[in-house]
A and B are shown apart, each in its own frame.
Chain A
Amino acid sequence: MVKKLIPIILIAGTAFLVMKYVKAPESKKRFIKHLVVQIPYLPGRYYA
């Protein structure tokens, strides 16, 4: 039962975050976008 709920919770959570992003003012969008595009580099940066 719990295993079945996890994907639903993840999808709902992602949808919620996307909705929040879409409705956010331009300034916040820029702030989030600037950080999100750097996520792939964080593991390397952490160890450097």
Chain B
Amino acid sequence: MSDYDAIIIGAGLGGLACGAILARSGVKTLILEQSGNTGGCCSSIQHDGFTFDIGPSVVEFKWVWDILFEKLGRKTADYIDFIEIDPIYSFITSDGKRFSYPADLTKTRKTIETLSPDDVKGWDKFVRIGSGMSEIFFKSSMFTPMMTLRDMMIFGIKNPLLSLKLKYVFINFESALKGFFKSEAVRASMGMHAYYLGLPPALCPGYAVFLCYTDHEGVHYPKGGMGSIPKGIEKAYREEDGEIRFGERVIKIITDKNRAAGIRTASGKEITSRVVISNINAKTCYLDLIGRDYLPRWAVKAMESYEYSFANPNLMLGLKDQIGLDAHHTVCHSTIEDMNSAWFDYCLKGKIPSRGFLLLSCPTIEDHSLAPENHHCLNIVTVAPYRLSGGKDWDSIREEYIESRIDIVEKEFHLNLRENIVAAKLNTPKDFERMLLQPEGAIFGIQFDNASSMIFRPRIRSGAIKNLYLVGSSTHLGGGTPTTTASGILAADMILREVF
């Protein structure tokens, strides 16, 4: 007789979603979280009177939470208050020009026309194909486990349009953009979406280009900060008598004849369960928590072969005044070449890029509750390597990094930042690793290229250990708030069907 029916390691979005559905079905569930909060990467922190988001800053595919709460017999609006973001993005160029992409497709068409009249036809084609691809790639695949070739074949049969658009799987993001847009400025404005998969445009699969379309189906922000999403799911989980223990770090998944049988915590407690669900990085789960000695050799090699995506240092600033931003997200405009160079010439060589990707996120434009009256929160998010060259480490360059980012925003993009700062906090890749136990501070987890996605990503139902299930960014469908939540829904459905 086990202590629990299900133990979930980690209270990220996937773990919480899975736990809530299991608890709702009467499965005796325990979530063990090493930190003092739920949410993992999707959390908010308090600092000097400001509420800052530590990871993602908006959500796409809001309907994923609607599906989750429907399964829980509840309404999303009673647990999470989503605010629609419009415009989706604003852009600021180094010569001081501004333009934005509103949620409305026709209005964005006008922006494209202003930027490059030759690209209007390309935009129309992009929208036409994008709406179909949105259905296939992002809606159908979200709730298909995609573990075997059989799953892929069934998925293909159910979505015949896929075969006509298969080329977007085999070309890169950069080439896919070139197929629609002639102007470098337009392509560059959409290039940053490659970073949503944790890869530069040259390495990112082409189908991700349609994320630029799905943005127009709705981008939202949860009132109270991104941490409101896990808090909403946590509330529903507790209402279903689910149990969470904070400050409990799991150091071992106990196996018995190749079957997960429970866990051991850092404090020495052993708790048995019928299934174990891992909401931590798959490499850590297999190689550290189960251990190489308890895994088949092929599984060890497979796990060792996955590479982490890049890290995103997040500079969080409290401002005493608005600095002239007119959208939740402002992108400091760059070129595709610079975005690729940030990865190949900087990150891979241990250097911090000065160009390529700079996202300014100002959530107080919609949600004033995040800062003291008339004050604002600003996140400056960039890409950077985990390991720095020249014997440097992130703790020693903290101040230098903060100053250099502020300099870039002020000097290159002409925003009056420094004199408005009243609070500052930097989360470096090292901080992410310490706080979230996310290896190398890689917020997107393992990379999401064609060789490590779909059937080649660690399975939701482990192929190496029985009764072990994986949720979160390192399993199908990768990093992102809706995708990790969806992985929890998929895992719970599978567990209820197969085990209980």
Contact = CB atoms under 8 A, between A and B. Distances in A.
Interface residues of B, dominant DSSP: helix
Contact of B451 (A27, A28, A35, A48): A35
Interface string B409-441: 000000000000000000000000000000000
Given A30-B344, A48-B303, A48-B464, A35 B449 contact: yes
A26 B345 CA distance: 14
Contacts of A7: none
A27 B301 contact: no
Interface in B178-229: 201-203
A16 to B, nearest CB: 16
B203 A47 contact: no
B457 interface: yes
A28 B456 contact: no
A41 B301 contact: yes
Nearest to B304: A41
A19 interface: no
B172 interface: yes
A3 interface: no
A42 B299 contact: no
Contacts of A47: 298-299, 302, 463-464
Interface residues of B, number: 29
Contacts of A38: 305, 449, 451-452
Interface in B447-465: 449-452, 455-459, 462-464
Interface size class of A (residues with CB under 8 A): 10 to 19
A39 interface: yes
A41 B458 CA distance: 12
A30 B201 CA distance: 10
A-B complex: 5 closest residue pairs judged by Cβ atoms: A44-B302, A41-B305, A38-B451, A31-B172, A45-B456
6 contacts: A30-B172, A35-B449, A35-B450, A41-B302, A45-B458, A48-B299
Interface of B: 171-172, 174-175, 201-203, 286, 298-299, 301-303, 305-306, 340, 344, 449-452, 455-459, 462-464
